[in-house]
Amino acid sequence: DQQVKQNSPSLSVQEGRISILNCDYTNSMFDYFLWYKKYPAEGPTFLISISSIKDKNEDGRFTVFLNKSAKHLSLHIVPSQPGDSAVYFCALTSSNTGKLIFGQGTTLQVKP
């Protein structure tokens, strides 16, 4: 039973363009949503988060959008840079449990 899905295993974009990474979930109990970036042989690095009471949160080049009715989360990176090339995971949690449920990840390649 996969509660969190990142349906695109990979994404390739040109430097300077927008990268859009998507995440779908099935359970309405989630009320806090996070994005992590991961390089090979390193731990996930926290990027940005959003709570269920908001539909958008921005931090520099990164914006997270939440559509609760569609149970859909997206991360926009603009402008994309070659250093953004990594695996991106969405992770969801609920306020009554601390554990994060991760998607399978999307590998982003930003071409110079």
Partner 1 sequence: DSGVTQTPKHLITATGQRVTLRCSPRSGDLSVYWYQQSLDQGLQFLIQYYNGEERAKGNILERFSAQQFPDLHSELNLSSLELGDSALYFCASSGQGATPYEQYFGPGTRLTVT
Is the CB of 7 or the CB of 46 nearer to partner 1? 46
Amino acid at the residue 55 = D
**Distance in Å, CB of 38 to partner 1, minimum:** 9
Q: How far is it, in rounded angstroms, from Cα 80 to Cα 76?
A: 9
Query: Residue 66 CB: number of other CB atoms within 10 A?
Result: 20
Q: Which is nearer to partner 1, 13 or 50 (CB)?
A: 50
- 40, 28 Cβ separation under 8 angstroms: no
For the CB of residue 12, give the shortest distance to partner 1 in the complex, in Å.
21
Nearer to partner 1, 8 or 49 (CB): 49
Kindly state the smallest distance separating residue 53's Cβ from partner 1, in Å.
13
What residues make contact with partner 1 under the rule CB under 8 A?
A: 32, 34, 36, 41-46, 49, 89, 91, 93, 95, 97-105
Task: With beta carbons less than 8 A apart as the criterion, state whether 103 and 36 touch.
Answer: no
- In whole angstroms, the minimum distance from the beta carbon of 112 to partner 1 comes to 27
Radius of gyration (C-alpha) of the chain in whole angstroms: 13
Amino acid at 82: P
